[in-house]
Amino acid sequence: MSHYFTGNAKTTLVLLAAFAVIASAHIAGAAGQKIRVYSVEAKGYIMSEKVIKTDDEWRKLLTPEQFEIARKAGTERAFDNAYWNNHDKGVYRCVCCGLDLFDSDTKFESGTGWPSFYAPIAKENVVTKEDRFLIFEIRTEVLCARCGAHLGHVFKDGPRPTGLRYCMNSAALKFVKN
């Protein structure tokens, strides 16, 4: 006897499968497990849950420099940071939560003294907001989508294919070599 599903039965099965995936992710997240979703198109992990900690909790996990830059929107000195001249292949992750942010394949020499990339590993992994800290210039701040860490700024003077320059602070990143 041959079994097949018609329209309503197929829809029900798809909805049940989707519900099972969402429920298991919710249960795992509630149990404190990190949930990562791999994205083939983006060559990395996309953000799937938020990480929220107090300043005291972040201070225990980060060096004073990392805390000042990632949690208080500081900026490190140009040409005097870990990754501005790094040419190894690998992935740059958020120093606070470990989310994959940039791939070495998108890194380029901007001449600014900070590590610069023309695109994030997945657009969902970073968020941007208007930064009016400088009186004479409105900039676009780049933050980790998972934990809100300040990463740096993005400018519209980068190379092709995007024309963007994600100018990041090394202290907000952790490089993992391939």
Catalytic residues: 167
Distances (CA, A) of 5 to 1, 13, 57: 13, 9, 52
Q: Are 144 and 93 in contact (CB under 8 A)?
A: no
E strand or H helix at 94, and its extent?
A: strand 90-94
Query: Rounded to whole angstroms, how far apart are CA atoms 158 and 171?
Result: 22
Across 28-89, the runs of DSSP E, i.e. the strands, are 37-39, 44-46
DSSP assignment letter at 162: T
Q: Are 92 and 115 in contact (CB under 8 A)?
A: yes
